[in-house]
Amino acid sequence: MSLEVISKAKVCGGWHKQYSHKSISLNCDMRFALFLPPNASAESPVPVLYWLSGLTCTDENFMQKAGAFKKAAELGIAIVAPDTSPRGDDVADDEGYDLGKGAGFYLNATQTPWASHYKMYDYIVKELPALVEQHFPVTQTKSISGHSMGGHGALTIGLKNQEQYRSISAFSPITNPMNCPWGQKAFTQYLGSNKEFWREYDASELLASAQSRLPILVDQGDADNFLQEQLKPENLITAAKQSDSEIELRMQAGYDHSYFFIQSFIDEHIAFHSKYLKA
């Protein structure tokens, strides 16, 4: 499949590039961003950290605001950041920021009018890694991380595909979407009213019923405005105890939901993943 370069910039000795391509999974043109560290070559391919962004974001938010390139270059890790939803004039949308474009929730929609395009789960799990591994000097070794809605995506995708990833991390994830307003709105629209289908995309439900074999790191700011109503990290910890899974939740004093929070701890997350990507 062909790729079109949208932009490129040298940074920290490596390269940040944006690409567009025709997505089979999503039935539309998609964009993603890639950071390749300076040591990446055909003779020396590098592992990949996939980053999933949150509501209203695109591939650009993390790449421009997180300050992740210096540590990724130092440790020899590529970063891939996809968009958060399908895009295009014929793609279904909603007036709210928490549904439709910019709010794909990293699932496979089954309901009209969403099902024809909103297959973000298949895109992240299957199509995008195959595309990246075909065109760039990377290995099949990968980990996954994300923020807010993207933290939900990282947790659920990692837990459902433990053979594909080495580690999972998240900033301020939506840990129990079945029991919060963001998740209930999105799941009703994308998946219908049968809550048994919702469980397949709920990290707390998945973790409670099956032990995680992957290391998981979660950072949560205790000054996050969405903490109590939307994020509910305590539910994820309860689920981990039920399945005897290992998970580290770090409550960070004074931090909110913003990229100031992510920038403060992203180096530690990249170092965390590096331990397992290089193992």
pLDDT digits (tens, 9 = 90+) for 139-175: 999 999 999 999 999 999 999 999 999 999 999 999 9
Q: What pLDDT is stored for residue 224 in this prediction?
A: 98
Reply yes or no on whether 219 is catalytic.
Answer: no
Phi, psi (5° rounding) for residue 114?
Answer: -85, -30
Catalytic residue among 16, 147, 152, 257: 257
| pLDDT, averaged across the chain | 98
Q: What pLDDT is stored for residue 164 in this prediction?
A: 98
Which tens digits make up the pLDDT trace of 189-203?
A: 999 999 999 999 999
With CA atoms as reference, report the closest residue to 154 among 144, 163, 162.
144
Reply yes or no on whether 85 is catalytic.
Answer: no
Instruction: Please give the share of the chain, as a percent, with pLDDT higher than 90.
Output: 99
Q: Residues with Cβ < 8 Å from 18, sequence gap 6 or more?
A: 5, 6, 7, 8, 31, 32, 33, 34, 59, 60
Q: What pLDDT is stored for residue 2 in this prediction?
A: 87
Q: What is the dihedral sign for C-alpha 204, 206, 211, 215?
A: negative
Catalytic residue among 85, 148, 172, 274: 148
The C-alpha atoms of residue 151 and residue 166 are separated, in whole angstroms, by: 16
Catalytic residue among 59, 83, 219, 224: 224
Q: Judge whether residue 1 has pLDDT over 80.
A: no
How do strand 248-252 and strand 138-147 relate by DSSP bridges?
unpaired
Reply yes or no on whether 117 is catalytic.
Answer: no
